[in-house]
């Protein structure tokens, strides 16, 4: 009973560790990718993709319980058998490179011998020596019957394959062994990258979480778990800049809107403009609101597109603005007690527009915070008149509330 319980208790963590290694390798290939590359999870292999126009298929072994590349490891032989079957069925395209990655720093004589083969002559000589070791001399192959059944099933598939098929795979084969800490390897990769940062751990956590969420969403939609280098790189740069404190000011890409754009906002009767009408704001305040609202929208788009900010930072920024609004609202309530609601709204508006709020720890342009407040006012997340929510509720909302 004790042995059974002990075995059961390690199998689940072992499986979780194995899946984690696959995710780590997925991220590893993305970190090393170039424009045009793609990386896939559980498509033609554990991890696969294209690099510099060439395809690769990678088997990932955790090595947590045993050495998966020892000469008589079923895992080793099953890997080559799977590749042979994949090539034979057409699932793995011709010209594919093959990688066997082991998370632990294990050694294996046969695996290393095959990984060292460069030419077809090298591969033929290595295969002949291995076949003799396991099967014995041709044509009797007297050792073949003595191979344990479980191992024989995989070994015989490999050694019984046509020489051309096996040679092609061996010549395209690479063995990689880790240090037993895949995420430490990823951290080193990030630290050495051209867009690296001293905030390696924070960046790694951000990217690992993004990979898991992205892959999960693709699988939920019934799509292959394939991520392009360009998609990943945009997230990578944004994550680096999110935690990078070397720059203190976010550049602005916004220009003042044209008269036509301003008139379009007025024509649309935007909610943030109706908020200003409720407190009797004059024309100058309304015009400034339109300018800052549109300019902030431009910067928000450009910063995200260029990787200056991370999406999560905008969410955090707007949460901060709401806290500022709540605080200013309490102060305005005290200062305007007994006065008309328009006075309350005017004081609250001016207090909020004067606030200085950093985004990702960086200073923003003077139009961005006011424009962001107007964005929140446009969605009724904040407001200036004490009764803005009820006064601006749509007929449908009022009907639903009734």
pLDDT tens, position by position, 176-211: 999 999 999 999 888 877 555 568 888 999 999 999
Cis status of the peptide bond prior to 139, with omega within 30 of 0: yes
Q: What pLDDT band is residue 246 in, cutting at 50, 70 and 90? A: low
Per-residue pLDDT tens over the stretch 149-162: 999 999 999 999 99
How far apart (Å, rounded) are the C-alpha atoms in residues 186 and 190? Answer: 6
pLDDT at 9: 39
**CA torsion angle 180 186 191 195 (round to 10):** 170
In degrees, rounded to 5, the angle at the alpha carbon of residue 160 between the alpha carbons of residues 156 and 161 is: 125
How many angstroms separate the CA atoms of 378 and 188, rounded? Answer: 45
**Residue bearing tokens 């924070």:** 202
**Average pLDDT, integer, range 238-248:** 75
Counting Cα atoms < 13 Å in the Cβ hemisphere of 55 gives 14
Residue 207 CB: number of other CB atoms within 10 A? Answer: 20
pLDDT, tens digit (0-9, with 9 covering 90-100), for 289-324: 999 999 999 999 999 888 888 888 999 999 999 999
Banded pLDDT at 328 (limits 50, 70, 90): very high
Average pLDDT over residues 217-240: 92
Calculate mean pLDDT across residues 18-26: 91
Confidence at residue 161, expressed as pLDDT on a 0 to 100 scale: 95
Query: What is the SS3 assignment for 323?
Result: helix
Q: Facing residues of 227 across strands?
A: 39
- Residue 157 buriedness (CB in 10 A; 0-12 / 13-18 / 19+): middle
Q: Number of helices (H) and strands (E), helices first, in the chain?
A: 17, 6
Higher pLDDT, 245 or 304: 304
Nearest-10 Cα torsion for 184, 189, 191, 192: 140
Q: Is the model's pLDDT at 55 over the cut of 80?
A: yes
> Which residues touch 144 (CB under 8 Å, ≥6 apart)?
134, 135, 136, 152, 156
pLDDT for residue 376 is more than 70: yes
Encoding tokens for residue 399? 């009907």
pLDDT in tens, 122-146: 999 999 999 999 999 989 999 999 9
- In the chain, the N- to C-terminal Cα span, in Å, equals 64
Instruction: Give me the chain's average pLDDT, please.
Output: 90
Answer positive or negative: Cα dihedral of 90, 91, 93, 99: negative
Which of 100-104, 121-125, 249-253 is predicted with the least confidence, judged by mean pLDDT? 249-253
Q: Which of 63-67, 210-214, 282-286 has the lowest mean pLDDT?
A: 63-67
d(CA 389, CA 402): 15
pLDDT at 196: 53
| Whole-number Å distance between alpha carbons of 294 and 256 | 8
Between 245 and 281, name the one with better pLDDT. Answer: 281
pTM tops 0.85, yes or no: no
CA distance 244 to 361: 9
Give the single-character DSSP code of 249.
B
Note the pLDDT tens digit of each residue in 163-177.
999 999 999 999 999
Is residue 203 within 8 A of residue 191, CB to CB? The reply is: no
Q: What is the predicted pLDDT for the residue at 11? A: 59
**Average pLDDT for residues 331-345, to the nearest whole number?**
95
pLDDT at 345: 97
Q: What's the mean pLDDT in 47-61?
A: 95
| pLDDT confidence of residue 393 | 83
SS (H, E, C) 363-374: ECCCCHHHHHHH
Alpha carbons 91 and 45: distance in angstroms, whole number: 10
For residues 29 and 211, give the distance between their C-alpha atoms in angstroms, rounded to a whole number: 12
Q: What is the pLDDT of residue 169?
A: 97
Which runs of E-coded beta strand occur in 88-149?
97-102
Mean pLDDT of 22-28: 95
Q: Domain coordinates of the chain in residue numbers?
A: 12-243, 259-401
* Coil, strand or helix at 26: helix
Structure tokens at 206: 């951000």
Position 242 scores a pLDDT of 79
């Amino acid at each position: 009973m004790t042995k059974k319980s002990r075995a059961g208790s390690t199998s689940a963590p072992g499986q979780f560790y194995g899946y984690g290694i696959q995710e780590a390798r997925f991220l590893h290939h993305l970190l090393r990718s170039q424009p045009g590359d793609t990386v896939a999870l559980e498509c033609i292999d554990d991890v696969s993709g294209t690099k510099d126009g060439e395809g690769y298929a990678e088997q990932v072994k955790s090595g947590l319980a045993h050495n998966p590349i020892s000469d008589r490891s079923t895992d080793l032989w099953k890997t080559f058998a799977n590749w042979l079957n994949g090539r034979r069925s057409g699932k793995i395209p011709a010209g594919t490179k093959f990688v066997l990655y082991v998370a632990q720093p294990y050694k294996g004589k046969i695996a290393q011998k095959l990984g060292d083969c460069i030419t077809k002559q090298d591969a033929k000589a290595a295969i002949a020596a291995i076949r003799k070791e396991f099967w014995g001399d041709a044509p009797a192959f007297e050792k073949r019957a003595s191979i344990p059944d479980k191992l024989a099933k995989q070994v015989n598939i490999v050694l019984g394959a046509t020489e051309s098929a096996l040679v092609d795979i061996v010549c395209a084969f690479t063995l990689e062994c880790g240090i037993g800490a895949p995420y430490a390897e990823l951290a080193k990769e990030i630290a050495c990258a051209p867009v690296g940062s001293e905030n390696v751990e924070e960046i790694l956590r951000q990217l690992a979480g993004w990979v898991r969420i992205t892959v999960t969403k693709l699988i939920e939609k019934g799509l292959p778990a394939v991520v392009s280098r360009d998609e990943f790189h945009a997230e990578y740069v944004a994550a680096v800049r999110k935690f990078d404190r070397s720059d203190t000011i976010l550049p602005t890409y916004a220009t003042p809107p044209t008269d036509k754009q301003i008139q379009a906002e007025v024509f649309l009767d935007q909610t943030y403009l109706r908020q200003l009408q409720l407190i009797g704001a004059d024309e100058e305040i309304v015009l400034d609101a339109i300018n800052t609202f549109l300019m902030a929208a431009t910067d928000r788009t450009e910063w995200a597109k260029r990787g200056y900010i991370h999406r999560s930072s905008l969410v955090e920024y707007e949460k901060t603005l709401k806290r500022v609004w709540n605080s200013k609202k309490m102060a305005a309530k005290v200062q305007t007690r007994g006065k008309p609601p328009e006075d309350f709204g005017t004081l609250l508006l001016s207090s909020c527009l004067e606030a200085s709020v950093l985004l990702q720890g960086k200073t923003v342009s003077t139009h961005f915070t006011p424009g962001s407040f107007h964005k929140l006012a446009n969605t009724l997340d904040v407001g200036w008149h004490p009764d803005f929510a009820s006064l601006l509720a749509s007929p449908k909302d009022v009907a639903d509330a009734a």
